Amino acid sequence: MKILKNQSIRGRLSLILISCTIAAVLLSAIFVNIAMNATFGKYMNDVQMQRDARIVEYFQQIYKKDGKWDQNSGEELMHEAYMSNYCLTLLDENKNVIWGMNPSNIYSDLSIHAGMGTDAGKGVYTSKTFDITVDGRIVGYVDIGQYYPVLLTEQDINFKNSINQGIIFSALYTIVITAVLGLVISKQFSRPIKKASDMSVELSKGNYGFRSDMKSSIAEINSLIESTNMLGEKLNSQDLLRKRLVADISHEIRTPLNILQNNIEAMIDGVLPVTEERLNSLNDEVVRFGKLLGNLNSLKQFDIEDSEYHFQNLQLDKLVKDVCEDFKPFANEKGVGLICDQSSGHYVEGDEDKLRQVFINLLSNAVKFNRDGGCVWVSVRENRDKVLVEIKDNGTGIKSDDLPFVFERLYRGDKSRHQTAGSGIGLTIVKNILSMHSASIGVESELNKGSTFTVSFDKATAS
């Protein structure tokens, strides 16, 4: 068992195919041999019955010809009986022996005429007596005896042995051919699995760019390869995101610390005077640094599974409308128009405060990353058993390369968007809150043309 533990899938598959083939061929050979012996035995038994009928008929013809029995009646059959290893005894109608053969005369010659399935020299002599009838009257009897139920000639034995040899050689050839085919098939079958295994090993080593273009005619193997390729792409994306995240956090933390350190050292050395304006500027950097740490702490809070949610039946369109009204002064200040759909009667189950935070974040981004004179459209509608909230803007948009990562932690798209204030955790918080509501969010965007965020809730009835 220990030897098979680290066996390759090709070796194991080949072993299984060859083992199954050997078992199938051996069973087939055994069943064929049994069936052949049974059929051949029936055939020889029929031949023997025809022989007995022919002997009886022969004696009938002799009696019709001579009208009596004597020592010479049918004695010419003795030679045939001796050569065929059976004994004949002729009796009259009173069962008196007219002539008979001695069974011991044929016993010594049985070594080459053994019965089916019986070794020579171990037969038991048995005989059958047949009536000789002429014109409806029994005129005598003939006793036919032999040492085996079925007698085989040397030709019969050779024929039977040649069939058995044919079965054995056929089985051996079949096993060899099947073993070769098994090795070929197992190679074709295991090759894509081996590729997928090699790819997973490379991924485990951190080589996230490793891919396989192997194709298979087996759907499950194709699915395995495609899934492993997708895993590699996601791991590669996550690795790039991690590196970028580390760089961004390092930059965000290093900048205020450098400003503080340089200014304080300059004031200590007397290079810069200590003024209220300069102290206020340093305080702003401390506040900025504190906000960054607060944002990281917010992410930690949203990762806690037992965060408190107070679900209730609420009118979603009213909640969205209230958020829009609160945002209109901010939008006007930025020179951005805000249009909110006034349809009503859309209910969901959710935490009002948490959902308010979702739409505040989405509207904040829509206004913040818009252009002067731009517009934001907000609508609430139903689609079958869903309630959809759509927030659309015609602002800066998002690059297609950044779209898959907009909901990742601290991800803020291309570097140019860093000029706009933001921490990069708003959409992460949005997605976490919506996940707790069994809701989903999707985004469509085109650079310099705007973005559309669509939130989908399960529809509820008004309570």
Ramachandran assignment for 335, one of left (phi > 0), alpha (psi -120 to 50 degrees), beta (any other): left
Rounded to whole angstroms, the Cα distance separating 203 from 197 reads: 10
14/435: higher pLDDT: 435
- Does the pLDDT value for residue 114 go beyond 80? no
Q: What is the mean pLDDT of residues 190-211?
A: 77
Whether 306 has a pLDDT exceeding 60, the answer reads no
Residue scoring higher pLDDT (121 or 54): 54
Choice between 43 and 304, residue whose per-residue pLDDT is larger:
43
**Between 294 and 25, residue with greater pLDDT:** 25
What per-residue confidence (pLDDT) applies to 376?
95
Q: How confident is the model at residue 419 (pLDDT cuts 50, 70, 90)?
A: very low
pLDDT at 115 over 60: no
For residue 410, what pLDDT is reported?
A: 61
In the chain, ranges of CATH 1.10.287.130 domains:
219-303
pLDDT value at residue 118: 43
Nearest Cα neighbor of 190 from 3, 1, 16 is: 16
Q: Which residue has the higher pLDDT, 8 or 300?
A: 8
* Average pLDDT score over residue span 345-349: 92
What local confidence, expressed as pLDDT, does residue 120 receive?
Answer: 42
pTM for this predicted structure: 0.47
pLDDT in tens, 215-232: 766 677 777 778 878 887
pLDDT at 170 over 70: yes
Domain with CATH 3.30.450 in the chain: 9-172
Q: Closest by alpha carbon to 236, among 261, 257, 210?
A: 210
Please name the fold of domain 312-458: Heat Shock Protein 90 (3.30.565)
Range in 3-17, 50-64, 114-128, 449-463 with the lowest mean pLDDT:
114-128
Q: pLDDT band at 444, cuts 50/70/90?
A: very high
pLDDT at 29 over 50: yes
**Separation between Cα atoms, residue 280 and residue 257, nearest integer Å:** 15
Which phi and psi (to 5°) does residue 342 adopt?
A: -100, 10
Position 413 pLDDT exceeds 80: no
pLDDT > 70 in the chain, percent: 84
Residue 455: per-residue pLDDT: 96
What is the arithmetic mean of pLDDT over 442-448?
92
Least confident window among 100-104, 350-354, 360-364: 100-104
Q: Which residues contact 330 (CB under 8 A, 6 or more apart)?
A: 367
Calculate mean pLDDT across residues 428-457: 91
The predicted pLDDT at position 424 comes to: 61
- Rounded to the nearest integer, the mean pLDDT of the chain is 81
Q: Please report the pLDDT score of residue 117 as a whole number.
A: 42
Is residue 441 classed as helix, strand or coil in its secondary structure?
A: strand
Could you give the CA distance from residue 406 to residue 452 in angstroms, rounded to a whole number? 13
- For residue 113, what pLDDT is reported? 47
The number of residues making up the chain comes to 463
Burial environment of residue 182 by CB neighbours within 10 A (0 to 12, 13 to 18, 19 or more): buried
Mean pLDDT of the region 169-180: 84
CATH 1.10.287.130 correct for 219-303: yes
**Secondary structure of residue 266 in the 3-state scheme:** helix
More reliable by pLDDT, 79 or 296: 79
CATH code for the domain defined by 9-172: 3.30.450
**pLDDT greater at residue 374 or residue 198:** 374
How many other C-beta atoms lie within 10 A of the C-beta of residue 59? 22
1 has pLDDT over 60: no
pLDDT band at 5 (very low <50, low <70, confident <90, very high): low
Q: What is the pLDDT of residues 126-166, one digit of tens each?
A: 889 999 999 889 999 999 988 776 666 677 778 778 888 88
Give the per-residue pLDDT at 150: 65
Q: Residue 334 is encoded by which pair of tokens? A: 């930025």
Helices (H), 67-153: 77-83, 104-107
Sign of CA dihedral 168, 169, 172, 175: negative
Instruction: Report the SS3 class of residue 377.
Output: strand
Looking at the chain, the domain(s) classified CATH 3.30.565.10 span 312-458
Q: Which residue has the higher pLDDT, 246 or 18?
A: 18
Say which residue, 29 or 395, is predicted with more confidence. Answer: 395
What average pLDDT score do residues 394-413 get? 79
Q: What's the pLDDT at 303?
A: 56
Among 3-7, 373-377, 446-450, which is the least confidently predicted range?
A: 3-7
